[in-house]
Amino acid sequence: MKYTLYLVLFLVFSSRLKAQNRYLDSLNSIVSQKSTDTRGQLKTLPLLVEFYRNEDLYNKALGMNSRLIALAKKENNELGLVKAYANQGLIYNNKEDFQTDRKYLDSVRTIANQSKIEITTAYANYLEAYILNSYEDYRSAVKTFQKVLKIIEHSDEEFLKAKVNYMLYTIYSNWNDVENTLLYARKAVEAAEKSGDKNLLSNTYSALAVAYTYLYDTHKKKSDLDRLFEICNKAIALHTTYPGQVTSRTYAIAKLNVVSYYLKYYPGKNTFTMQKTMETLEVAKNAPGNELIIASCYGILGTIAEKQNNNTAAMQYLQKARDIVLKTKPVYYYTLIQACEGLASLYRKTGQYEQAYLLQKEASEYYMKLFDEEQATTTKKLQAQYESEKKERELTSLKDRAESQRVQKLLYAGLGIITLLGAFYMFRSYHFKLKYSIHREKELSAAKNEAELQALLEKEAQYRLKAEQELLSLQQEKLQNEILASQLHLQHKNEVLQQLKDKLREDAPINIHQIIREENLLDNDFEKAKFQIQKIHPNFFKTLSDNARQKLTPLDLKYCAYFYLGIDTKQIANLLSVEPKSVRMTRYRLKQKFGLDTETDLITYLKKLG
């Protein structure tokens, strides 16, 4: 079973709130005491804002940050105010409010441009890079993050250094750049060590361990694997060494990563891995908000149980994982889909095809919800990007207009002076008219340039709207192709189930193990074809029907799709449970339906239609 719910990359800078967390209680105590001076408040409030923001407790984060903004304004503390506005932008970005986060970015930029403190520019760039990263404009984000590092290179902003290096680590890991992934993970650890934040340090250790998995997967050096587990143990040990400073959720994630690595790299140590998973499960249960970690533990236990041929236990574990994720808000559809597909695989393995079908259907519904959710988020991002670029163009236009008005004022002032001088010096009238003509020409030229700029802005707006429409169209085509591929697969499964029902009704002998083996082989073949089927244009089948001289049946359309994709005769025979001879006969029959002569190749003809 390929189902896993590992949280190897599920790393954050903080963890879920726990009432008994002494570190958090101490921070709240500091900000609530009247004896705490302004300097202590400005130092402690950002830590609480960061904690609540990373816990998705946005209302509490905004409440604390409002206090921080008011205090920074009262003390005329530019750097404190810039940090507070940057936090505000991060919070709204996490809430996917891509309009409001830009407003606070503008506020941070305004203060930074007027301030003589260079660090303020670093925080403005950090917020901008963070927003670009959320828009998946990774290349621009990397350039902007690098600007931040250049500014704070020789400062004591170690916490910010750790966060920036961590963000660069995540981007390069997405690009599968092993060298830079390892580089920035190490830099994040170094900065976190200097910052003194043990919770941050534990998370950066886990990030460095992930980087070593890439290194080991690339070079297969045993020393890299040993180093991986050494770093994981450091992340875990911080929880005991510094009580209260590493939260239970961060601790549970670190332990779960170790379990995941053992399951991946030491698949034979099932008993040991199960024991460590149970320990992690108990840690996760001790604090609220750890539903995904708990679900992941049950997913791993299900994987181990299946390896031990204990399908009943595996089903129970996966069912628990599914039930837990269903209760989370918001629902994490990726994890839910994995749970449903894992259960469907087990039901197929045990011959419970109806249950397998229902769970696979449920997973398909979650795929649709996930797609809708991602579609809505993408639309919001595109709208925010468009509005931002439009605003920047408007600002440029306003600056040009202001410059033009300034020139006009100077022109009018000059004309006034020349007029006064002309009253006293009539012999200079020729020169006065000449200067006036030149200035007038500049004014008309400026007006013409302004009109051309406005026309260009309108044209760019039309291009952007067209691009957005094309993007939505491409996404719709992708969805239609995925549905087509799934329908072909489901149709084949329904045919197999119907054959089984017919044989059962006729009391015919059935070798169920052979059928399952054949279906597994067919599934492998179909998975190879599935990604190819998704490439077919959704109007392909309509084009086929329009060009056929005789009516094409659904089976004819299916054969045409397989021939078009270049699947050989044996694979088609396996996918459709027929003899190769039947496939060849069908090819000849299709040529007749299309009215092709003996010299024309059917596949070549279909590719032209496609």
For position 221, what pLDDT does the model report?
A: 93
For position 451, what pLDDT does the model report?
A: 77
- At 384, is the secondary structure helix, strand, or coil? helix
d(CA 148, CA 154): 11
d(CA 243, CA 241): 6
For the chain, helix (H) and strand (E) counts, in that order, are 24, 0
Strands (E), 8-64: none
Task: Spell out a b/e string for 265-287, using b for 16 or more CB atoms within 10 Å of the CB, else e.
Answer: eeeeebeebbebbeebbebbeeb
Task: Spell out a b/e string for 325-361, using b for 16 or more CB atoms within 10 Å of the CB, else e.
Answer: beeeeeebbebbbbbbbbbbbbbbbeeebebbbebbe
- At 286, is the secondary structure helix, strand, or coil? coil
DSSP string, 451-491: HHHHHHHHHHHHHHHHHHHHHHHHHHHHHHHHHHHHHHHHH
Q: Do the beta carbons of residue 168 and residue 184 sit within 8 Å? A: yes
Residues of the chain with pLDDT under 50: 1-20, 534
3-state secondary structure 189-226: HHHHHHHCCHHHHHHHHHHHHHHHHHHHHHHCCHHHHH
d(CA 455, CA 463): 13
Per-residue pLDDT tens over the stretch 509-561: 666 777 676 666 556 555 555 555 545 565 777 888 888 888 888 888 888 88
Per-residue pLDDT tens over the stretch 345-393: 998 988 999 998 998 998 899 889 888 877 877 777 777 667 666 766 7
For position 19, what pLDDT does the model report?
A: 34
The stretches of 95-197 forming alpha helices (DSSP H) are: 100-114, 118-134, 138-152, 158-174, 178-195
Q: Which residues contact 230 (CB under 8 A, 6 or more apart)?
A: none
Q: Which residues contact 481 (CB under 8 A, 6 or more apart)?
A: 533, 534, 535, 536, 538
Q: Do the beta carbons of residue 368 and residue 358 sit within 8 Å? A: no
What dihedral do alpha carbons 203, 209, 211, 214 form, nearest 10°? Answer: -140
For position 335, what pLDDT does the model report?
A: 86
For position 407, what pLDDT does the model report?
A: 77
d(CA 459, CA 137): 24
pTM over 0.75: no
What dihedral do alpha carbons 297, 299, 304, 308 form, nearest 10°? Answer: 130
Q: Do the beta carbons of residue 64 and residue 52 sit within 8 Å? A: yes
For position 168, what pLDDT does the model report?
A: 95
Q: Evaluate the omega torsion of the peptide bond into residue 509 and state whether it is cis, within 30 degrees of 0.
A: no
For position 522, what pLDDT does the model report?
A: 55
